[in-house]
């Protein structure tokens, strides 16, 4: 007789490579589920040199469920072994739980690599009703949306007790002291986040004599698009090339929040509108600065996420109607900065307990 599996959940990870956003989420989710139920979780490390067929087979057999946040690391360094682990889980009659953050916003080549994971999953955890609808409307795999459940997404990073000084922080502080309007944007820079749209807003603010300095805290994602080249070309065309800073990779949370504390506000003009999966927005809100962003496409986007909805309701996140002009965003920024700051404690642990409970319910 086969022995009872030792663990409730096996998380697929990638060891030290998990410093990317995808891997960071997987690690924290496993830790919070383990806090709620000690001894219930284990992790299988899959890299180019780790994760043999025998190791995967044994690890899958040790747990009742296999949880895969595909791809387990950014892009394609480790792609096929997670799919192999999911296939083994189905063969061994283990439940497979896929965590799916995006769909239509992915490059079509990336969507192709996700299809096997969608097919192998028993349950698909999503964080946004809009993304679930995008999947449902896919002519090839739309039927898999029937396997979707919604969970509340927490921020990946927590505001630390202190902030680290850096040359860039000192530059931003000096700019504000000189009367410049410093607008921040956090996270990886790629087409779906419409990085060039913020440039248009910056140009309008400059025309109004507000002397903006637009700082992108993050770096460009390498892909098949010429995002970085087009970004800098557009900044030059608008006459604000000297008013734009791209930080590149920032090594520590202390340094990230040091930069957050040196901006006047954040702005995210998003073509798809704000969705409940935007963890970069949640990271920014912790800094206590106003955040101006495009309103959601769906009226029920935050119905499953009470904490996110509460941030909007109390004005920490200011919504600009979809389809608004760049002038409307500039107006929103100016108006938000005139209001008293919205200060409130951010219950980081509570956010993670919520998502851990939602995923635990699927195991």
Stated pTM of the model:
0.90
Rg of the chain in Å (alpha carbons): 21
- Residues 172, 215: contact at Cβ < 8 Å? yes
35 in a structural domain: yes
Q: What span, in angstroms and rounded, lies between the C-alpha atoms of 259 and 152?
A: 27
Same domain, 211 and 340: yes
What are the tokens at 221? Answer: 């994602």
2 in a structural domain: no
Same domain, 183 and 291: yes
Whether residue 24 is predicted with pLDDT greater than 90 in this model: the reply is no
Q: What is the pLDDT of residue 1?
A: 43
Q: What span, in angstroms and rounded, lies between the C-alpha atoms of 212 and 58?
A: 57
What pLDDT, in 10s, does the model give residues 85-96?
999 999 999 999
Domain that residue 46 falls in? 7-154+351-360
- At 80, the pLDDT band (50, 70, 90 cuts) reads confident
Same domain, 300 and 207: yes
The mean predicted confidence, pLDDT, of the chain is: 91
205 in a structural domain: yes
Q: What span, in angstroms and rounded, lies between the C-alpha atoms of 12 and 44?
A: 5
Share of the chain above pLDDT 90, in %: 72
- At 205, the pLDDT band (50, 70, 90 cuts) reads very high
How many domains, in total, are found in the chain? Answer: 2
Same domain, 67 and 99: yes
Q: Please state which of the ranges 28-42, 69-83, 136-150, 281-295 shows the lowest mean pLDDT.
A: 69-83
Same domain, 103 and 178: no
Q: What span, in angstroms and rounded, lies between the C-alpha atoms of 321 and 295?
A: 5
Whether residue 76 is predicted with pLDDT greater than 60 in this model: the reply is no
- Report the sign of the C-alpha dihedral through residues 48, 53, 57, 58, in that order: negative
- At 72, the pLDDT band (50, 70, 90 cuts) reads low
190 in a structural domain: yes
Task: Count CB-CB contacts under 10 A for residue 47.
Answer: 16
Whether residue 276 is predicted with pLDDT greater than 60 in this model: the reply is yes
Q: Please state which of the ranges 117-131, 140-154, 193-207 shows the lowest mean pLDDT.
A: 193-207
Backbone angle region of 195, left / alpha / beta, with phi > 0 → left and psi within -120 to 50 → alpha: alpha
162 in a structural domain: no
Same domain, 146 and 187: no
Whether residue 33 is predicted with pLDDT greater than 90 in this model: the reply is yes
The average pLDDT across 45-61 equals: 88
**Do you know the residue count of the chain?**
363
Same domain, 94 and 198: no
Question: In whole angstroms, how far apart are CA 142 and each of 105, 126, 131, 138, 308?
Answer: 15, 14, 11, 4, 27
Q: What is the pLDDT of residue 346?
A: 87
Q: What span, in angstroms and rounded, lies between the C-alpha atoms of 232 and 227?
A: 9
By the 10 Å C-beta count (0-12 exposed, 13-18 middle, 19+ buried), 41 is classed as buried
Q: 184 has which bridge partners?
A: 215, 266
Same domain, 264 and 356: no
Whether residue 75 is predicted with pLDDT greater than 60 in this model: the reply is no
108 in a structural domain: yes
Whether residue 74 is predicted with pLDDT greater than 70 in this model: the reply is no
In this structure, what CATH number is given to the domain that contains residue 94? 3.40.50.2000
Q: What is the pLDDT of residue 77?
A: 57
| pLDDT top residue among 63 and 160 | 63
Q: 125 has which bridge partners?
A: 99, 149
Whether residue 71 is predicted with pLDDT greater than 80 in this model: the reply is no
Which of 4, 58, 64, 61 shows the shortest CA–CA distance to 33? 64
- Residues 30, 11: contact at Cβ < 8 Å? yes
What are the tokens at 294? Answer: 């495009």
């Amino acid at each position: 007789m086969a022995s009872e599996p030792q663990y409730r959940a096996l998380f697929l990870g990638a060891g030290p490579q998990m410093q990317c956003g995808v891997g960071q989420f997987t690690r924290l989710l496993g830790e919070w589920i383990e806090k709620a139920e000690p001894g219930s979780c284990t992790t299988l490390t899959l890299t180019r040199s780790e994760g043999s067929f025998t190791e995967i087979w044994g690890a899958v057999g040790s747990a009742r469920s296999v949880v895969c946040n595909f791809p387990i690391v950014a892009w394609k360094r480790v792609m096929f072994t997670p799919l192999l682990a999911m296939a083994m889980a189905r063969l061994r009659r283990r439940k497979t739980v896929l965590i799916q953050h995006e769909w239509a916003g992915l490059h079509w080549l990336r969507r192709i690599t996700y299809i096997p994971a969608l097919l192998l999953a028993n349950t698909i955890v999503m964080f946004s009703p809009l993304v679930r609808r995008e999947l449902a409307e896919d002519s090839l795999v739309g039927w898999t949306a029937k396997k979707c459940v919604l969970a509340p997404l927490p921020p990946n990073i927590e505001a630390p007790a202190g902030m680290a000084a850096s040359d860039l922080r000192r530059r931003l502080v000096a700019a504000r002291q000189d009367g410049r309007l410093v607008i921040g944007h956090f996270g990886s820079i790629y087409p779906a986040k419409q990085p060039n749209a913020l440039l248009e807003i910056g140009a309008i603010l400059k025309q109004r004599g507000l002397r903006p300095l637009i700082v992108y805290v993050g770096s460009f994602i390498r892909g098949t698009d010429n995002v970085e080249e087009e970004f800098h070309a557009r900044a030059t065309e608008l006459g604000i090339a000297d008013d734009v800073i791209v930080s590149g990779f920032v090594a520590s949370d202390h340094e990230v929040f040091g930069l957050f504390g040196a901006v006047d506000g954040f702005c995210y003009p998003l073509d798809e509108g704000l969705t409940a999966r935007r963890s970069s927005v949640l990271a920014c809100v912790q800094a206590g600065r106003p955040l101006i962003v495009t309103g959601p496409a769906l009226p029920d986007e935050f119905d499953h996420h009470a904490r996110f909805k509460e941030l909007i309701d109390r004005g920490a996140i200011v919504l600009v109607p979809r389809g608004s002009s760049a002038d409307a965003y500039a107006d929103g920024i100016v108006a938000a900065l005139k209001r008293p700051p919205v200060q409130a404690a951010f219950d980081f642990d509570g956010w993670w307990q919520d998502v851990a409970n939602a995923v635990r319910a699927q195991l």
